Amino acid sequence: MVKHIFSRIKHYLSVYQGIVITNFIESMNFRLHFFLLILMDLLFYISALASIHIIYNHVETIGVWNREQLLFFVAFMLGINQLTMTFVSEAYWRFPELIRTGDLDFILLKPIGAVFSVFFRYLRPGSMLNMIFTWGVIIYYGLILNLSVFDWCALPFLLVLGFLLQNAIEMVISCSMFWMLEGSGVNFVRMELQQLARWPDFIYNKIVSRILMTILPILLIGSAPIRFLFNANDWLPFLGMGLAILLFWGVLRFVWQLGLASYESASS
């Protein structure tokens, strides 16, 4: 059993290695587009951090957090955004086209998981380079907050968990495209949910906060790991985050199969 699992992991890693190489070659053939994507992401990151500085020029604290704490939270969310922009963002926009044109047929015929092929096929190498910026600001504000050795060791793990939860939720939402004539509008719903998740849970009223921490747990993406870092006794949202990851990846498998059952190839 263990040997089979490692064999599958090795197989997927070898496939993904080919995907990475192909995407890098393609990106370097369009150098202006490559650098414009880097610039676009950097402008977004800088504006997100600058907006927090502007707010704190007028207030001392927001909820229970001071300037540096909220900036660290925003930097953490930018780290998750950078991972998403690098590894899956492009696929969300191409998915409705695959359904509409029938090109999804060719992916379904391949001897590898269709979800993997659809959502992890398109890499943005330019966004990958912006990891230098996002990790730079995470480290900078982490040093100001005097994070412990345990906190620093846990940070990469927490970033990956946030990435997994965000994209499990967004992939489930994206599966609604199976039942739409033109599914691109779903991507704007995803982006609005990202906007909600970029703020800590305590800025919302109790009803909205509970909904976004349980039913549609997008606030767990950032609030759960950061609250745990700031106070190890505040572990309940972090536990909820782990359960939400398992739940939504399970829901994704179910909804994906349901979508495929109703999918009618445009090429047939």
State how far the Cα of 242 lies from the Cα of 227, in Å rounded to an integer.
Answer: 14
Supply the DSSP symbol for 179: G
Q: Six-digit token pair at 220?
A: 């767990």
For 159-211, the pLDDT digits (tens) are 999 999 999 999 999 999 999 877 778 999 999 999 999 999 999 999 999 99
Type of residue at 180: M
**Reported confidence tier of residue 268, pLDDT bands at 50, 70, 90:** low
| CA 141/CA 57 separation, integer angstroms | 18
**Which DSSP helix (H) or strand (E) runs through 173?**
helix 149-174
Q: Quick one: 12 exposed, middle or buried, by C-beta within 10 A (0-12, 13-18, 19+)?
A: middle
Computed over every residue of the chain, the mean pLDDT equals: 89
**Which residues are paired to 65 by β-bridges?**
62
Q: Per-residue pLDDT tens for 145-160?
A: 999 999 999 999 999 9
201-209's contacts with Cβ under 8 Å and 24+ in sequence apart are: 201/237, 202/63, 202/64, 203/62, 203/63
Is the Cβ–Cβ distance between 136 and 217 less than 8 Å? no
